[in-house]
Structure 1
Amino acid sequence: MTAEGGFSTEERLARLEARAEISDLVARYAQGADRKNDPAILGPLFADDATWSAEGFGTLVGRDAIAAGLAAVAAERVLWSIHYMVSPLVELAEDGLTARCHWYLWELCTMAGEGTAATDSWFGGWYDSELAKTDRGWRFTRVTLDVRLQGEANPPWQLKKPVRM
């Protein structure tokens, strides 16, 4: 900070870059989620001691546990998905080394049935996260999904062949 209390040009640039990197992290999270919670994509987004939680899905602690646990959710419960991560709001700490990020989730998915056929569903809520700048770049230290809406899609999805990005 400058003596006047404002950020210097270099600090302002660093803060803009941090916001862009955090927004990219949210986008990569969506990519990994839409690839059946690919642990190779999701794992590197988290700090070593991070936590991930969502009511109905549990709490996962540690990067490896998060990557494996989310992959298990995709294999067992969420059979297909497309995530729309909407309006990420990045709040950087004054020191530029930690941040919070909130965004809305709108998801189309196919959920495994318990003894029944899979169900195409709407899924919505919001994410609340904390992040830290590490020697590997920005990483999530905590991600919490607050599910607010889930319902059956009627008529069901008519999926075309998968698109790879």
Structure 2
Amino acid sequence: MATRTLTQRVTRLEAITEIQQLVGRYAHGADRHNDAAVMAPLFGRNAVWEAKGFGRHQGREVIAMELARIGREEIVWSAHYMTPPVIDVDDDLLQARCRWHLWELAQIQDASGSGMPAAAHWICGEYDTIVIVEAGRWCFQQLDLNLRLIHRHDAAWLPLG
């Protein structure tokens, strides 16, 4: 590792703190039905959000719109519990990789069209993201959610992988 100046070290620590706040704001917005007004500013202009079963969406406005749709139609209530993120800031202090685990309590709407009420589920997975500085702020450029479990709470455990 190259020797860093005090300014570079402080800037790196500030970046890590700002990225931690970004993850917290993401959870906050997700627990408000993926509120588009909260979620949109968290993503870069050309960002990509992807999770198997929920799609791949590109562009800040598209991501915010699709996440809000998921919050209205599919995951109609949630409580996100994020582990502390592991953040590796690049030497240029303008990009980082950020990874964390998710444990989520959720009410998921029945997709069969049967009219059944939403059912309680447990969800767990791993986020793997690239964050960048855009317009002077940290934001998600690539967000991949690897879901490992989506499970009705009243049935036997059925891990996804």
Displacement after TM superposition at 1:121 (Å):
0.3
2:62 to 62, 65, 70: 65
- Show the counterpart of 1:162: none
TM-score by length of 1: 0.89
Displacement after TM superposition at 1:85 (Å):
1.0
Distance 1:118 1:34 in 2: 16
2:22 to 25, 28, 31: 25
Query: C-alpha offsets along residues 71-114 of structure 1, whole Å, 9 cap, x if unaligned?
Result: 00011100100001112000101111100100000000000012
**Aligned pairs for 1:64-83 within 5 A:** 64-83=61-80
Distance 2:134 2:56 in 1: 23
- Show the counterpart of 2:46: 49
Flag as ranges the 4+ runs of structure 1 deviating above 6 A. Answer: none
- Show the counterpart of 1:110: 107
Distance 1:86 1:136 in 2: 26
What amino acid sits opposite 2:151 in the alignment? G
- Show the counterpart of 1:143: 143
Per mean C-alpha deviation after superposition, the further-off stretch among 55-64 and 114-123 is: 114-123
Displacement after TM superposition at 1:134 (Å):
1.8
Distance 1:136 1:59 in 2: 26
Distance 2:74 2:132 in 1: 30
2:91 to 91, 94, 99: 94
Per mean C-alpha deviation after superposition, the further-off stretch among 86-95 and 57-66 is: 86-95
Distance 1:91 1:38 in 2: 28
Structure 1 unaligned residues grouped into runs of 5+? 156-165
What amino acid sits opposite 1:94 in the alignment? D
1:123 aligns with 2:123: yes
What amino acid sits opposite 1:79 in the alignment? V
1:153 aligns with 2:149: no
SS in 1 for 2:85: strand
SS in 1 for 2:41: helix
Displacement after TM superposition at 1:24 (Å):
0.2
Per mean C-alpha deviation after superposition, the further-off stretch among 43-52 and 86-95 is: 86-95
Displacement after TM superposition at 1:8 (Å):
0.3
- Show the counterpart of 2:158: none
TM-score by length of 2: 0.91
- Taking every aligned residue pair, what percent have the same amino acid on both sides? 40
Displacement after TM superposition at 1:19 (Å):
0.1
